[in-house]
Structure 1
Amino acid sequence: MVERKLTNSDILSLSGLYNSGLSSWAIAKKFDTDHSNIIYHLKRLGLNRRSRSSAAKEGVKAGRIVIKKNRIPNNLKLDKNFAYIIGVLCGDGYMDYNDKRRTYQIALSVTDKEFLEQFKKALFKYFEINPTNEFKKSKNIKWRDQFATRLCSKEACDFINKFGDFKKFKWRIPEVIINSNIQIKCSFIKGFFDSEGEIDKRNWRIGATSVNLDGLNQVGEILRSLGMRYTIIKTKDNRPNTHQKYRLRIHDKKSINLFQELIGFTILRKQKVLIAKFPRDRDRLTP
């Protein structure tokens, strides 16, 4: 915008306009001038700028800002999409629920785009709300770029909270998933392994690592109910200020075959190894 010089009359009116609740951006638009010009004169008049939250409240009050409430469908039922979402929340996903900041979102930030797309798809199909699509360019050449998404809805977050706390050290698998059918269980396991799963090509194992031993034991029990054997071990990490981690391992022929048949990985680089490497070297697997 081309900066228009404010007249003395314009400058004298700024105080009244700003104190009436009009934003600095709205004032700049009114006078057809640059926003920085308005800020400069507000400072010279000794007016303190409103915080973002205060400005937002004034905007809502004046009708300039309309808060869109992302409503979720009534009578939501357990399905594969919900199970996948919960599986991801027990892994790489997270929920930001903050009444003070009025922030309510279900989110994921990962380096594998296909994983993000699958999570977005599950969120949309279940809650019928469009999640965001974000890209974060890495500032460090040693790190990979990040793909991120957020579904912003207090109703969706409240619904998830009915099934438990899904923070890193506290999450547990909801009973409705533990006691569900094979399809629901497999969808949960897929979400969890898309987050925390790994393939050990040297030792011919599929694994998943977590700091949450109780939650990991529940994952193992679901695998057992699907006919798979597993073990859980402590992992060694000599780095300072790190929490004890535990690794669930699947390494016998039958269990790996079942995992490949029933679950698999959304992440292509892992799925390619699963379908190409293990069948070719199946004789080396533990009977």
Structure 2
Amino acid sequence: MKKEIRLRYLAYSLKTTHIKLNLTFLNKLLKDASKSNTPNRDKKFVQRIGCSVNKNKKSSMTIYGWIKGYRTVPMDKLIKIVKLSSYSWEEVEINLISIKAGIRSGEIKPNFPIKIDKKLGSIVGHILGDGSIEKRFHSVFYSNSNIELLKEFNKYMEEIFGIKARIWVQKKKLFHEKSQWLMKVDNLNKVPKNHSVGLFYPKICCDILYTICGKFAEGKNKIITSQIKKSNKEFKIGFVRAFFDDEGSIRVDNYCARLHQDNRDMLNDFKYILKELDVNSHIVRTYIKKDKLRYYFNISGFKEYRNFYKVIGCTSPKKKKNFELLIDKVQNSKYFKKKYAL
């Protein structure tokens, strides 16, 4: 996986997306590519980029719409235009106003270059934890009742994709009951206490995440893709940290940290990533919760959970407190001081 992602890299995988560019720049780009002051009337140029000419008006109404700013440019057309011009993708990137999955709404303005770092890793980790990518429309979703985790996800999505979430508050429910939405709010600070919240983002966010990380989540199907496995250390730290905040626990009484999941293969992949980060863990075991088979593995031994806390850490205040309690308990114990030569 690259260290950073630019628009040029995404373009060929996002050919059905629509782009909005600075109008002055777009007009210069079209004139340069067509070698004409009226690109919408240049039949040869119109045909080369795959548009059609209105015979009555002797003009491409599609290109005319781009020039006037009431139509967005499909990515597959933009690729052809840039190839015919003397402009670079970097210049296109600088003049990007927004990008969306199709002709409808759901615009975002990614902050290029997109860095493959802890923040992006955190987004992917949270989606594999308490989030999802909707199977039919591919909207990105994250749900939690922990306000710190919600704010973290919301902040990183806004910093990377330039979009604020649609925020819906859930009605309080029992474990087995279906989720029902209580109300929409415009700020996480307005969420009533002890309520779960859903953060929603448009399809284009999913399209970009898939291009960078592979199809790691779709509906109930979640995997750790080869792209994630090959990512850099910073990405993996953010990735594991977010997933642990959603699916992990600290067992102070049992002297261990624990990672839970319904997917055994995913846990085994997490064990491998943890080993790369110098944290060893035990074999995956099973337990029953609410008549459902679940999987988990423990991280025990002072060196292992101390390394986890120092290198990876967590955002959840409760988990952070329990980590510190566990570490202090061991460090202040005569038995463990002798056992671990502290």
TM-score above 0.5: yes
Displacement of 1:169: 6.0
Find the aligned partners of 2:262 and 2:250 in 1 and give their Cα distance. 18
Displacement of 1:67: 5.0
Question: 1:207 corresponds to which residue?
Answer: 258
1:223-259, Cα deviation, whole Å (9 max, x unpaired): 101111101332221744x2x3210210011111111
Confirm whether residue 81 of structure 1 aligns to residue 119 of structure 2: yes
1:131-188, Cα deviation, whole Å (9 max, x unpaired): 1233334266xx9833324232121122233411415764222333322332221110
Question: 1:128 corresponds to which residue?
Answer: 162
Q: Secondary structure at the match of 2:208?
A: helix
Q: Secondary structure at the match of 1:69?
A: coil
Q: Structure 2: which 5+ residue stretches go unaligned?
A: 1-102, 178-192
Q: Secondary structure at the match of 1:202?
A: coil
Question: 1:232 corresponds to which residue?
Answer: 283
1:86-109, Cα deviation, whole Å (9 max, x unpaired): 11111111122424xxxx421122
126, 146, 156: which one aligns with 2:205: 156
Question: 2:29 corresponds to which residue?
Answer: none
Residues 169 and 211 of structure 1 are in contact (CA less than 8 Å); yes or no, is this contact kept in structure 2? Answer: no
RMSD: 2.8
Residues 129 and 151 of structure 1 are in contact (CA less than 8 Å); yes or no, is this contact kept in structure 2? Answer: no
Find the aligned partners of 1:229 and 1:277 in 2 and give their Cα distance. 17
Confirm whether residue 171 of structure 1 aligns to residue 222 of structure 2: yes
313, 316, 326: which one aligns with 1:264: 313
Question: 1:93 corresponds to which residue?
Answer: 131
1:19-75, Cα deviation, whole Å (9 max, x unpaired): xxxxxxxxxxxxxxxxxxxxxxxxxxxxxxxxxxxxxxxxxxxxxxx9533234366
Displacement of 1:197: 0.6
Find the aligned partners of 1:247 and 1:168 in 2 and give their Cα distance. 22
Residues 91 and 192 of structure 1 are in contact (CA less than 8 Å); yes or no, is this contact kept in structure 2? Answer: yes
Question: 1:198 corresponds to which residue?
Answer: 249
Question: 2:150 corresponds to which residue?
Answer: 116
Displacement of 1:276: 2.7
288, 297, 305: which one aligns with 1:248: 297
* More displaced stretch, 212-221 vs 70-79: 70-79
Q: Secondary structure at the match of 1:150?
A: strand
TM-score normalised by L of structure 2: 0.56
Q: Structure 1: which 5+ residue stretches go unaligned?
A: 1-65
2:126 partner amino acid: V
Residues 97 and 157 of structure 1 are in contact (CA less than 8 Å); yes or no, is this contact kept in structure 2? Answer: no
Displacement of 1:265: 1.5
Distance change in 2, residues 1:167/1:257 (3 Å): same
Find the aligned partners of 1:194 and 1:167 in 2 and give their Cα distance. 21
2:152 partner amino acid: Q
Larger Rg: 1
Distance change in 2, residues 1:151/1:81 (3 Å): farther
Find the aligned partners of 2:131 and 2:145 in 1 and give their Cα distance. 13
Question: 2:107 corresponds to which residue?
Answer: 70
TM-score normalised by L of structure 1: 0.66
| Structure number with higher strand proportion | 2
329, 337, 340: which one aligns with 1:280: 329
Residues 72 and 155 of structure 1 are in contact (CA less than 8 Å); yes or no, is this contact kept in structure 2? Answer: no
Find the aligned partners of 2:287 and 2:106 in 1 and give their Cα distance. 46
Residues 231 and 248 of structure 1 are in contact (CA less than 8 Å); yes or no, is this contact kept in structure 2? Answer: yes
Residues 267 and 284 of structure 2 are in contact (CA less than 8 Å); yes or no, is this contact kept in structure 1? Answer: no
Q: Secondary structure at the match of 1:135?
A: strand
Find the aligned partners of 1:277 and 1:238 in 2 and give their Cα distance. 25
